[in-house]
Amino acid sequence: MADALLIFKPDSAYRIAAREGIWGWLSSERDWRIESLEWFQPSAQLIEDHYDFLQGRPFFPWLVDFMTALPVVVGRITADPQALGLMRYDLGETQIAKSRPGSLRERYGIYGGLNCLHLSDAPETGAAEVKRWSDFVQLDQVKARLDDSSDKPDHTYHLRSLATQVANGIHVDSASEMMRELIAEETDLEGKKLEALWRITLGALS
């Protein structure tokens, strides 16, 4: 069996309908087992190390802010390598615009790096990622309990359309304001935490 690190990124950890949809898939444990799950706020250094292969890219500062601004849901999955490959297939391609129709990222991703989940892409990667993160977060116990139902709306497709406009410089002010309103409807966050979610979402579009 292989280890894989799983992270509900902020765009799925706090958009409740998206989180529920993804959790419904994950908790089915069809060909895998959830070994741990916990809310955890990573440090900038941990994220920089985790994504060291992306250092120097223009979006890297945003990525570090995105992954450290709020607690995220971190877990460890065990599966055989073939099942892990099927999980990645279900998840879909990293870039939302290229994600396979029917995949989780096509269903719940908003734009670009707002792609819902991190899942280790190979047994070797999973072993290294689990080893690194286990120095900071417990990866042998399920502590987080995620709801499987809510009355929060799912505005994914509307948000994706608006995000595309903002990223392309079209109706930026009005599209941004509408995105802000829709995200506020999707989440339970308030105050500074809601502003942080909005900031890191908008940052992905610049």
Residues recognised as catalytic: 118
Residue 33, strand partner residues: 78
Give the closest residue to 73 by CA, choosing from 12, 126, 128, 3: 12
- Angle, vertex CA 163, rays to CA 161 and CA 164, nearest 5: 65
Kind plus residue range of the DSSP H or E element containing 84 = helix 81-91
